[in-house]
Amino acid sequence: MFPERRMRRLRQNPAVRSLVQECSIAVDKLVLPVFVSDLIEAPSPIRAMPGVFQWPVARVGEFAKESWQKGLKGMMLFGIPRLKDSKGSEASNPDGVVSRAIKEVKDKAPQMLLMADVCLCEYTDHGHCGLLNGYEVDNDATLPELAKAALAYANAGVDVVAPSDMMDGRVEAVRTALDGEGFIHTPVLSYAVKFASAFYGPFREAANSAPQFGDRRSYQMNPANAKEALLEAELDISEGADMLLVKPALPYLDVLRATKEMAPLPVGAYQVSGEYSMIKAAAQAGYLEEARTVLESLLAITRAGADFILTYFALDVLEDVG
Site for Zn ion, rule CB under 5 A: 119, 121, 129
Nearer to Zn ion by C-beta: 67 or 99? 99
Instruction: Please provide the DSSP assignment of 103-169 as one string.
Output: HHHHHH-TTSEEEEEE-STTTBTT--SS-EETTEE-HHHHHHHHHHHHHHHHHHT-SEEEE-S--TT
Q: How far apart are the first and last CA of the chain?
A: 40
Q: Which is nearer to Zn ion, 216 or 260 (CB)?
A: 216
Smaller CB distance to Zn ion: residue 25 or 162?
162
Give which of 204, 86, 173 is closest to 137, Cα–Cα.
86
SS3 for 46-69 is CCCCCCCEEEEHHHHHHHHHHHHH
Residues β-bridged to residue 245 = 268
Report, in Å, the least distance between residue 220 CB and Zn ion.
Answer: 9
How near is the Cβ of 165 to Zn ion at its closest, in Å?
5
Q: Which of 59, 204 has the CB closer to Zn ion?
A: 204
Q: Is the Cβ of residue 64 or residue 236 nearer to Zn ion in the bound state?
A: 236
Which residues fall within 8 angstroms of residue 138, CB to CB, at 6 or more apart? 130, 131, 132
Q: Least distance in Å: CB of 189 to Zn ion?
A: 15
Q: How far is CA 45 from the centre of its chain?
A: 19
Tell me how far, at minimum, the Cβ of 112 lies from Zn ion, in Å: 24
Q: Catalytic amino acids? A: 194, 247
Q: Nearest distance from residue 212's CB to Zn ion, in Å?
A: 13
Task: Kindly tell me which of 119 and 279 has the beta carbon lying closer to Zn ion.
Answer: 119
**How many residues are listed for the chain in this entry?**
322
261 contacts: CB under 8 Å, gap ≥ 6:
305
Torsion angles phi and psi, residue 277, rounded to 5: -65, -35
Find all residues with CB under 8 Å of 198, minimum gap 6, and list them: 274
Q: Which ranges constitute the DSSP H helices of the chain? A: 14-19, 57-70, 97-108, 139-156, 170-180, 201-207, 227-238, 253-262, 273-284, 290-303, 314-321
Cα–Cα distances (Å) from 257 to 47, 194, 228, 233, 263, in that order, read 33, 14, 14, 12, 10
The distance of closest approach from Cβ of residue 118 to Zn ion in the complex, given in angstroms and rounded to an integer, is: 9
The strand pair at 74-80 and 30-37 is best described as parallel
CB of 166 to Zn ion, least distance (A): 8
CB nearer to Zn ion: give 67 or 124. Answer: 124
